[in-house]
Chain A
Amino acid sequence: MYGSEHMFVYGELTSGGVVGTVRGHPDPPGPPALGVLAERARPTSTSRTRVLVVHDPLAPCLPDGGLRRGSVVRCSGEGSLSLALALIGRISGTGSWCGLVGVGDVGALAMVGYGVDLDRLAVIHAPPVPWTQVVGMLLDGMDVVVANSSGRPRPAAARQLVARARHRHAVLVVVGTSPAWPAPADVHLRVTDGRWQGLGRGFGSLQARRVSVVVQGHGSGARPVERELWLPDAAGRVAPA
């Protein structure tokens, strides 16, 4: 019930009819809301197929406790690529197919550290056509597609991708520092305040990086929540700070 606990905190789910009304009541007194009961009574296989399970430290960063199929997640800020790779690590490692588009210089060993199964990661370094087209095709066959938004896509193309992810029950993770994503995202994870540890002035070596992840759910009323993470920790994984 780790994940659902945080659903209370973030609430505001856009679909699935889950616990949208109990935001702000982490421990609701009396009988739980009907929606909560319905959700708990669901066979686990249903909720598992609906939400892709992420590494435990990342679950509190996501309103659903994982990547909800059909949703769009935006990662921005310095370290957003690491965050995206960490997000797909467990999903990929448990047999799901993932795609990575537009990161010409991705570090495969870093991906391995986050648990990514390289056999099931289709990498498209430099899309020969606008990246939105390739991403659209990939969404048809992958569970999660991580796309580096090099250049701002046309709003219409971006909205088409949102619709395609929803239709195909795939997850689109948009990574990028500066260009804005001109379409709604269900979750926006902003990596801020990254601080590397272990390296001094002429001694030591990089050990780990502590970051703050600002989580913003969908809708203007969603309150941003901040989480502290090691991304990566000394072993190259993601860990709670």
Chain B
Amino acid sequence: MNHRLQAMGDPNIAASLANVTKRYRAITALDDVSLDIRAGEAVAVLGPNGAGKTTAVGLLLGTLRPDAGHVRVLGGDPTGRRCRQRIGAMLQISGVPATLRVREHVDLFRSYYPAPLDRETIIAAAGLGGLEHRLYGKLSGGEKQRLHLALALCGKPDLLFLDEPTSSLDVESRRALWQEIRAVIDAGRTVVLTTHNIEEADALADRIVLLDRGKIIASGTPTEIKRATAASRISAVTTLATCAIGKLPGVTKVHRDARRTEIFASSPEPVVRALLGMDHDLTDLEVSRTTLEEAFLTLVRPTTGAARSDGPAYVDSRT
């Protein structure tokens, strides 16, 4: 608690959530979450759909109010106009009028700030050169997101929120937009990025905060997150019961489909030795390092026994 109070007055903290809870009727979107965003860092809030990422951004932007806890942004209340003039945002719901031109949108948003960035700089930073006179409705998906980035940059923000900036884009447009976002981060701006794409978090952020069902379950640099979740995947055809495998040392997850059994473990050797000892008919043994994506799925609490919407069914052996 003391630490928290201290952090609130700290000029090195650009934004903070202190013991914040936010509910929508029966659903608790954020459950007693505390998070400090340090000035100059790029934080990726990573989590599956419904983890509470957009709610966290809404609270920091001041468009939502917490049910409990405190939100501080740039040393003040995020709903204040003074605070709002120092932040920029790319939101997920962000339809802007289709029959206005890129340049008109940028000029309008620049007019909201006392000392805006000049138009040419904004257009160049967002990679919109040559599209100034294009109507918003005629832009491609990637170009639309670039315009939203441009609008977010108009006020020379000290703090920039990017809520799922590339989730609607194809791989090519996504990687192209990363370049512009990377340049904004390299310019020293504080950036809070939400994503469900671990590759994006890894490519852009200095720090990853893993959010799952309204709780922060891990936080660290991309390397730390990878190390913490470093694991092996063991795959084989076996008749052993999944609950028996789950009891083996270091096993974090067991999943069985029609044919194969997939086992995640911190170190593979003891598990393999035990498996071979227990099942002499075991075949098709494969051992590999987990990808970052799998590491992420290991950390995110699975729905026991039920299929996840974004992947195969994972059975948590620890329960």
Please indicate whether A and B come from the same complex rather than being unrelated chains.
no
B contacts, CB < 8 Å to A: none
Chain A residues proximal to chain B, CB less than 8 Å: none
